[in-house]
Structure 1
Amino acid sequence: MFWGCISSQGVERLVEVESTMTAASYRQILSQNLLASAREMRLDEFIFMQDNDPKHTARLVNDWFDENDIDVLEWPPQSPDLNPIEAVWAYIKFKLSKIGKLSKIELREKIQDIWYSLPQTLIAKYVKSFHKRVLEVFKVKGNNTKY
C-alpha cells in the first residue's frame, strides 16, 4: 500500500506502507511527509482531503491536524468517487495493467516510476474535477457517479 500527496501543482511524496496501517502509523506518515510536501509545493495554505477511514479520523490523527493548524475537508461517508487521488490510483493501475507480470520489487519500483512521472497537467485536471464531482453527487442524489 502507498500513501501519496497531490495538489493541482502535481505529485509530491509517495510513501510505501509496509505494515498494517494504524492511526499511529498514519499520524507518523503525515508528520514526516505532509507539511514537507506542502512546503516543497510552496503551499502556504491548503485544505487536506482524506476519506473517513477510522484510522484517518482517530483522535490521535485529529489532534495532529489541530496541533499543526491544518484544515481537513469534512468528507461524506462512502464517497471515494469524490477524491481526486482515486483517479490517480486508477491511472497507475491502468498503466500497470499494460506491463504484465512483475515481481514485488519490480512492482514497487514501477509504481514509483509512474507516480513521479505523472504529468502535472493530468494531476491538475483531476484536482480541478473535484467541483464537478461534488455537483454530480448532488445531481444523482448521493448515488454512484461516473467518477
Structure 2
Amino acid sequence: MRVLFSDEKFFDSDGVYNSQNDRVWAIDRADAEKNGGIKQKRKLPQKVMVWLGVCSKGVTPLMILGEGTVNHTVYIERVFPVALKYGNQVFGSDWVFQQDGAKPHSHHLTQQRCRGNFPSFIGKDRWPPNSPDLNPLDYSIWDKLANSINWNTAQSKTTLIQQINSSFKNIRESVVFEGCASFTNRLYRLCQNDGNYLG
C-alpha cells in the first residue's frame, strides 16, 4: 500500500485528556473520582501543534508547527515540502497523500496545490469527516507517542517539545507497520458498518 497518512495534533503540558472521548465508567461520582474522574487543567497550559506522516515504509520527520492554529498557508509552506520529499524518497512517483478534512487541508489553495504537486491525493470530498477509525495516527501512533511522554517533566514549552521529540524517537517500527497494515481491514469494516465508528 503506497499511502502516506498525515495528521496534526496538539500536545499540551497538562497531558493527554479529551473531555469528549475520555470516559471513566463508575457506579457513582465518588467511584468516578476515585478512578481518575477528575482531571485538573491549568488555565493556560503550554501547548504545541505537531505534524507527522506515516506509511508502510516508516515515518516522516516530526514537525513542530507552533502553539497556534495552523492555517492553509503555513500548512502548504511547511508540511508539503516534507511530505512530498518523504513520499517520493520511499515510494518514487506512485503514491497517495492522505489528509483529513481540517480547514487548512480542505482550503481551495491546498487542494489545488495537492493536485499540482502530489502524484495522487485523497481529495477533501473523499475522506470521511471525523474519522479516527481510518488514520493510523489517530487509532494507534498518537496514543503510543503521548503515553511515552514523561508528563511530569513536560511543564514548559521547551520541556514539552523535548519530551515529544524524545518520545517520537522511541516509537517502534513495528507499531507503525502494524498500524498502516490494518488500514485496509479497518476500511472494509467501516464499509460493512455503514460508515459508523468501529467498536
**Interval containing the TM-score (normalised by the shorter chain):** 0.7 to 0.9
Higher RCO (Cα < 8 Å, 6 or more apart): 1
Map of 2:72 onto structure 1: 23
Q: Give 1 or 2 for the bigger CA radius of gyration.
A: 2
- Pick one of 96, 101, 121 that aligns with 1:47: 96
Which has the larger displacement, 137-146 or 104-113?
137-146
Gaps of 5+ in 1: none
Letter in 2 for 1:37: Y
Identity of aligned residues (%): 23
- 2:183 is the alignment partner of 1:130: yes
Shift in Å, 1:139: 2.8
Within 2, Cα distance between the matches of 1:114 and 1:143? 32
1:46-101 CA-to-partner distances (Å, cap 9, x unmatched) read: 111111112101111111112214311220122122111112111111222xx332
Shift in Å, 1:29: 1.9
Gaps of 5+ in 2: 1-48
> C-alpha root-mean-square deviation of aligned residues, in Å?
1.6
Q: TM-score by structure 2 length?
A: 0.66
- 2:136 is the alignment partner of 1:84: yes
Paired residue total: 143
1:19-69 CA-to-partner distances (Å, cap 9, x unmatched) read: 3200111111233311222244x2212111111112101111111112214
The structure richer in helix per residue is: 1
Q: Secondary structure at the match of 2:61?
A: strand
Q: TM-score by structure 1 length?
A: 0.87
Q: Secondary structure at the match of 2:54?
A: strand
Within 1, Cα distance between the matches of 2:110 and 2:119? 11
Q: Secondary structure at the match of 1:78?
A: coil
Q: Secondary structure at the match of 1:16?
A: strand
